[in-house]
Structure 1
């Protein structure tokens, strides 16, 4: 019988005995387990751990050192040159001089950019007013814009029995819908004028039509025209012709040029133009070229490398699209090479320019109208509204009404460059919202086209000059058929980095506008007429739970319990999914995907054009901006400011003020609609506010994005750099 072996013998025989010298297997330090009961970390808990804040602190420290060095140098020079002068007094004078000089030097290196759908406002911080440059680029093309689509004119003439009616029947050019709306607006205006004791002639329309129909133009030879236009000269050799032209030179290219040029407007309705572009890189390149040429021609910056020494304040819409902001920032910093860029919202810049602390800003641009309440230096998020209509719609409607009434220049086509400029001139000279101007007037204009003799036309107008800007209050008269073409076909919408859900900002006021445009009966006037609304799917806020205008209209505002059940957590079965009678589910359940639901809601919103009468939109914005505070609502009613090129229509502010008083008679004394103070041009007020904001001291302005920071973190910096919630 074999005896039992000891443990050591087994280890030795089996080869399991340890034979090393107790040395560690590696020199890598071993980390002990964390005590889960009490441990502490400072990761991302101090400002100096963020690159944005750390860079700002370093710049402030370097600036203090530089200013101290400059002060010492100034004191030393003062003592050396003025031996008997008091050192303290001389130092104080030199310090003030150095400070003023440094501010002027800083402002001379500051660029303010305000991009619009039709014009670009650009200037330096030392400029009192900006330069206006058409936001357009002309490129070599096989045909110009007026020759596309078979030469179809704009406004579009509708065909009857396959052909466009002759010049003798212009009332059939735009269809029965436009004719009925136009006649209805004419009748309403006559009724309103009779109510206001205005004289109305019964045969005014017949006088206008008969005069326009039989009045031929006068021909003026070119050498007798003192105000002839200098057209852009194109070299006779097509190979020597430039590849592109920008600004005013692009609008003055002759239509029959060789080679042909086509105009491209990269910004449309306040965002990127996806209707005329099929390549996003071409769109970005055109914007970059327009900026670069504006820097060279308007600011005198001829060398691109010099832009690294300039800072730029870029003004963005209040209700912006994230992809628009990030792409513009990338163009300014990486493509153009600017040193620093700061983002500022339009309405906030308007209050900076006007010197107001609280106001309701109504910005009527060429192709969009934005409304926003600003309170104590911040845009109230839920009050932001972006309407896709503006002064360009007024221009087109004015021309349609004039053609309807037998305008003598029946061949007007807004796709032609000289006709487009002529239409803008006619609108600015003759359109008015003042009822006293609604009389039969005899007017004239000059038609100047390249290679043709100047023609002087005489025509009469009656109510067309007032009914066309009346479209702001009756937007159905505008043509909206093309405004959603190719939407999201070239540039996709912005999505969240983590879950892929759409993350563009959206306000309660904008949701009400979309619901109204979609015919879902929103609470535009304060009364909720339908429970089926897109606002139910948005994040609830205090402004949704309590509406001031609802209280004004004696509507019960006490929150009630919802009839529908609360939604279950993610991954739970859908309670609305019914099981077929007698059917077997087989254990399969329908799950809700919150990202998919948000995407579907965003797609549904994109199918609806946000359009609403401007007076109703202002009331909706005010109700969301006041948040149930009656005192704040009265302050906003007394601080409505009209800005933008569309606001320069004579009588618009008075007409809007009367409409608001009719809708809210209890606030008749508080309602005040006015232009910018100190006789500032409403077109440049936003740019002026951006200039004021950009010249603030860097210690109080931490929103500058430098090239080094952007190269390291990209647009993730915007979370820490924007003064608004990104």
Structure 2
């Protein structure tokens, strides 16, 4: 308290100090003016040593110059009593002596001019050196104090909390109604393929496809067809592909040998021979128990969402366009012309899901609170757009923003862990310490469950897959490939053998076809693409627009700009081995602490639907343990923590967000429309905790 009082008094005195450049030119007080005044005095009289008599001397000279000759004579004639001749002679001698002294002083001043000029320059440099420096200017502004007193003595924005118009943090008006028992709180977790949404009072969310089929005009349909033809697909490096494929097969042989399993001889020839001679069987609609009810598009309906959107029979010249507004862990900027178009589709999907699946009327949104779970590295501008959409257009009473990694730790019931979120198109790795995300440990890789599906489909086609006309660009064939991956893929060595499976191909307005297929090691090799990403095809980086990262929060915009310029430790990769990324993230978070290293290596949490492959967690443990980083750190055990109570890893993040919204600490995190309109993105820094 005493230190603050002392500093305030010092600054107040400093602000009231009068500097040389504040004084008038007639009365100089700076060292430069003093030095020049002393020089002028020395030329006029040898007795003038200070700057104080200088104004009087100057005024006396001026008075003498302004006197007229008549006045001078009159003054000399009225001198008083007559003087004697002796006195006149003495007075003349004194005048002669004074004149000679004046001449001598003029000669001496010429010799001192150089020394005086040097001293003036030295004083000038010292004076400027001691002057206070401004933040934006290097010179003081004449006539103004350096530090205004009102800014020094004010306590505004000096406390830990800032205040802005709107509801105060923890206001009763923002909290959910206690009588509803959390039935008025909606938890939304968007994903690249699926949307998990549900009431906080429920144990599990509802998962629906995060897709929309919107009816387009004829011109828009033509433009979309042309755009799809112009997409550039990078070519695959065949040498790297062959090397990665051999590495994957070597991994399988090594694991089979350790598990004391014998490889099937001539397995590949058996699979190729059987699949090439496979005969398809036609099944009529009345004999197909899992017949797909295709969506009728004859009605004048502007869009379909969820399952109905996937069942829209989209053809080459169709007027409906099927798009995913969430792609690669963020807003889709590749298939949409603008961010407003994406937000429009997101609002339509979320509203339809809440009204139809959660049985909440559109008019009741104003009485409901919403919890939005976002990726750890979502663009700040996109986040502000999402909050604006939910408060201004969807009319929610208040919202909470929470990151996926922190919500995963709440769902798993741990405070510190390494969260490995394997989504459909993105894998995020981050270390959590006491519920707080460690920023330097964030790693994002553009790999996910979709890459496993594509790799598995390519392996099947190389082994003469009976359904050779499979097209992953269509919704129904993509759904078939996803189903085969979930049913057939395994990383258990005991299941690696030549096996025969049945599957059904369903296409719009055609009878269902039944096929038989043999598989061998494809079921094990496909998930290893996350560890050996060189086997994957390069992805297109074409984007239609880029966010400007400009919001009303200047501080966050500056941080975002610095991270984009390479000043941040956040790491993003198009392809990177997931096991090495986990070890690298742990090393960054541990910061040399051996105790943290061991704790992180034994507390890895797998979340997301991309890694839902049998025995994948055990293979990941072996891969992380064999990395160079783990070997140098002398790590002898790596453990992937299973989900509590056999909870599905795909809904673990949603469950954690639901738990977090019910805590007492969440009362200060609600953001309403009033303060969002007034303060904007600054609300996120004040209300969005643990981000």
Q: TM-score higher than 0.5 here?
A: yes
Change (3 A) 1:37 1:199: closer
In 2: Cα distance, 1:155 partner to 1:397 partner: 20
Question: Which residue does the alignment assign to 1:683?
Answer: 650
Q: Does 2:322 correspond to 1:263? A: yes
Question: Which residue does the alignment assign to 2:689?
Answer: 723
Determine which of 492, 501, 506 is the counterpart of 2:548: 492
Asked if the contact 1:47–1:53 (Cα under 8 Å) also holds between the matched residues in 2, the reply is no
Secondary structure, counterpart of 1:702 in structure 2: helix
Q: Does 2:667 correspond to 1:701? A: yes
In 2: Cα distance, 1:343 partner to 1:184 partner: 43
Question: Which residue does the alignment assign to 1:42?
Answer: 155
Secondary structure, counterpart of 2:169 in structure 1: helix
Question: Which residue does the alignment assign to 2:266?
Answer: 203
Asked if the contact 2:553–2:682 (Cα under 8 Å) also holds between the matched residues in 1, the reply is no
How big is each residue's C-alpha offset from its partner over 1:446-505, in whole Å with a ceiling of 9 and x where there is no partner? Answer: 1112211111110111111111110110111122322x2217x24334589659976339
Asked if the contact 1:311–1:338 (Cα under 8 Å) also holds between the matched residues in 2, the reply is yes
In 1: Cα distance, 2:441 partner to 2:320 partner: 42
Question: Which residue does the alignment assign to 2:305?
Answer: 246
Change (3 A) 1:198 1:619: same
Q: Could you list the runs of 5+ residues in structure 2 that have no partner in the other structure?
A: 1-67, 72-144
In 2: Cα distance, 1:38 partner to 1:459 partner: 79
Determine which of 215, 223, 229 is the counterpart of 2:292: 229
Determine which of 298, 302, 307 is the counterpart of 2:357: 298
- Larger C-alpha radius of gyration, 1 or 2? 2
Q: Does 2:348 correspond to 1:273? A: no
How big is each residue's C-alpha offset from its partner over 1:336-382, in whole Å with a ceiling of 9 and x where there is no partner? Answer: 11111111111110111111111111111111111111111111111
Displacement after TM superposition at 1:195 (Å): 5.2
In 2: Cα distance, 1:411 partner to 1:128 partner: 41
Determine which of 134, 158, 180 is the counterpart of 1:105: 180
Asked if the contact 2:167–2:675 (Cα under 8 Å) also holds between the matched residues in 1, the reply is no
Asked if the contact 2:553–2:680 (Cα under 8 Å) also holds between the matched residues in 1, the reply is no
Change (3 A) 1:155 1:539: closer
In 1: Cα distance, 2:232 partner to 2:300 partner: 31
Change (3 A) 1:307 1:324: same
In 2: Cα distance, 1:43 partner to 1:117 partner: 44
Displacement after TM superposition at 1:194 (Å): 3.5
Q: Does 2:146 correspond to 1:117? A: no
Displacement after TM superposition at 1:112 (Å): 0.4
Secondary structure, counterpart of 2:402 in structure 1: strand
Q: Could you list the runs of 5+ residues in structure 1 that have no partner in the other structure?
A: 5-31, 65-100, 159-172, 512-533, 541-601
Displacement after TM superposition at 1:38 (Å): 11
Asked if the contact 2:314–2:321 (Cα under 8 Å) also holds between the matched residues in 1, the reply is no
Question: Which residue does the alignment assign to 2:479?
Answer: 421
Question: Which residue does the alignment assign to 2:164?
Answer: 51
Q: Does 2:560 correspond to 1:504? A: yes
In 2: Cα distance, 1:456 partner to 1:38 partner: 80
Question: Which residue does the alignment assign to 2:414?
Answer: 356
Question: Which residue does the alignment assign to 1:286?
Answer: 345
How big is each residue's C-alpha offset from its partner over 1:386-412, in whole Å with a ceiling of 9 and x where there is no partner? Answer: 111100111011101111111111110
In 2: Cα distance, 1:409 partner to 1:721 partner: 54
Change (3 A) 1:667 1:435: farther
Asked if the contact 2:174–2:398 (Cα under 8 Å) also holds between the matched residues in 1, the reply is no
Change (3 A) 1:190 1:152: farther
Change (3 A) 1:223 1:390: same
Cα RMSD of the aligned pairs, angstroms, is 3.7
Q: Does 2:442 correspond to 1:404? A: no
Displacement after TM superposition at 1:268 (Å): 0.7
**Number of residue-to-residue matches in the alignment:** 546
Change (3 A) 1:338 1:51: same
Displacement after TM superposition at 1:209 (Å): 0.9
Given the two structures, how large is their TM-score scaled by the length of structure 1?
0.69
Asked if the contact 1:52–1:720 (Cα under 8 Å) also holds between the matched residues in 2, the reply is no
Q: Does 2:608 correspond to 1:617? A: no
In 2: Cα distance, 1:618 partner to 1:34 partner: 51
Displacement after TM superposition at 1:157 (Å): 12
Secondary structure, counterpart of 2:560 in structure 1: coil
In 2: Cα distance, 1:464 partner to 1:155 partner: 28
Change (3 A) 1:108 1:209: same
Equivalence map 1:10-49=2 (5 Å): 40-46=153-159
Secondary structure, counterpart of 1:363 in structure 2: strand
Asked if the contact 2:325–2:346 (Cα under 8 Å) also holds between the matched residues in 1, the reply is yes
In 2: Cα distance, 1:185 partner to 1:438 partner: 14
In 2: Cα distance, 1:692 partner to 1:110 partner: 12
In 2: Cα distance, 1:674 partner to 1:486 partner: 38
Displacement after TM superposition at 1:638 (Å): 1.3
Change (3 A) 1:440 1:361: same
Change (3 A) 1:178 1:152: farther
Secondary structure, counterpart of 1:287 in structure 2: helix
Secondary structure, counterpart of 2:648 in structure 1: coil
How big is each residue's C-alpha offset from its partner over 1:8-43, in whole Å with a ceiling of 9 and x where there is no partner? Answer: xxxxxxxxxxxxxxxxxxxxxxxx999859962122
Change (3 A) 1:700 1:417: closer
Asked if the contact 1:319–1:385 (Cα under 8 Å) also holds between the matched residues in 2, the reply is no
Q: Does 2:654 correspond to 1:654? A: no
How big is each residue's C-alpha offset from its partner over 1:612-634, in whole Å with a ceiling of 9 and x where there is no partner? Answer: 11110100111111122111211
In 2: Cα distance, 1:499 partner to 1:641 partner: 33
In 1: Cα distance, 2:273 partner to 2:148 partner: 95
How big is each residue's C-alpha offset from its partner over 1:517-558, in whole Å with a ceiling of 9 and x where there is no partner? Answer: xxxxxxxxxxxxxxxxx9xx6368xxxxxxxxxxxxxxxxxx
Question: Which residue does the alignment assign to 1:322?
Answer: 380
Question: Which residue does the alignment assign to 1:15?
Answer: none
Asked if the contact 2:553–2:681 (Cα under 8 Å) also holds between the matched residues in 1, the reply is no
In 2: Cα distance, 1:669 partner to 1:478 partner: 31
In 2: Cα distance, 1:333 partner to 1:356 partner: 32
Change (3 A) 1:202 1:705: same
Question: Which residue does the alignment assign to 1:526?
Answer: none
In 2: Cα distance, 1:117 partner to 1:63 partner: 30
Asked if the contact 2:278–2:466 (Cα under 8 Å) also holds between the matched residues in 1, the reply is yes
Question: Which residue does the alignment assign to 1:674?
Answer: 641
Determine which of 113, 116, 135 is the counterpart of 2:210: 135
Change (3 A) 1:478 1:48: closer
In 2: Cα distance, 1:500 partner to 1:289 partner: 29
Asked if the contact 2:472–2:478 (Cα under 8 Å) also holds between the matched residues in 1, the reply is yes
Change (3 A) 1:130 1:38: closer
Asked if the contact 2:255–2:493 (Cα under 8 Å) also holds between the matched residues in 1, the reply is no
Asked if the contact 1:229–1:448 (Cα under 8 Å) also holds between the matched residues in 2, the reply is yes
Asked if the contact 1:493–1:502 (Cα under 8 Å) also holds between the matched residues in 2, the reply is no
Secondary structure, counterpart of 1:342 in structure 2: strand
How big is each residue's C-alpha offset from its partner over 1:588-622, in whole Å with a ceiling of 9 and x where there is no partner? Answer: xxxxxxxxxxxxxx9xx9xx843211110100111
In 2: Cα distance, 1:39 partner to 1:376 partner: 38
Question: Which residue does the alignment assign to 1:345?
Answer: 403
Question: Which residue does the alignment assign to 1:713?
Answer: 679
Given the two structures, how large is their TM-score scaled by the length of structure 2?
0.72
In 2: Cα distance, 1:294 partner to 1:37 partner: 54
